[in-house]
Amino acid sequence: MIRKNPRGDLPQIHETAYVDQTAILCGKVIVDENVFIGPYAVIRADEVDETGDMQPIHIGAHSNIQDGVVIHSKSGAAVTIGQHSSIAHRSIVHGPCTVGDRVFIGFNSVLFNCRVGDGCVVRHNAVVDGADLPAGFYVPSTERIGPHTDLAAMPRVSAQATEFSEDVVRTNHSLVQGYKKLQNEF
């Protein structure tokens, strides 16, 4: 469902993107080309700051927002998902938040008030809250990263983890093409 927010902003969706009919996109949302937005995802840009303004939620080209993902923002803060990135099933991305290019966010992970640099991998059930991860960092499953986490102790992304991330993007890019072809059959 594509709908306006109370301020009247309507999502802008590139014609090559695929948005599942059960997903909800509300308000100042920008979806670039070849993006996959899966079933029951909710992307909602509807809160304003103290001046009545808001920044967009922007999903970069060739990225995928999988089943049940929630993307929202506090008080009109920006949320940016880079290009060729994957936000896996049931994750929560809550702004203010920036996710770089070629990033993988695993199942049920939570991002809030953070920056995740290019090429990072955040595995399943992890939390990044109030921290900035430089490019190429690996966050193991169930890890909690906060403002006082010693990032020097965190591992770098392996070639195997990078290949996994790239494979997820390739798979979801194929799904965009397949579902776009089927879109008029229902």
Q: Which residues are catalytic?
A: 47
Please report the DSSP string for the chain in residue order: -EE--TT----EE-TT-EE-TT-EEEESEEE-TT-EE-TT-EEEE----TTS--PPEEE-TT-EE-TT-EEEESTT--EEE-TT-EE-TT-EEEEEEEE-TT-EE-TT-EEEEEEE-TT-EE-TT-EEES-EEPTTBEE-TT-EE-TT--GGGSPBPPHHHHHHHHHHHHHHHHHHHHHHHHGGG-
Instruction: Find all residues with CB under 8 Å of 27, minimum gap 6, and list them.
Output: 4, 5, 7, 9, 10, 11, 44, 45, 46, 54, 57
Q: Which residues pair with 112 in a beta bridge?
A: 94, 129
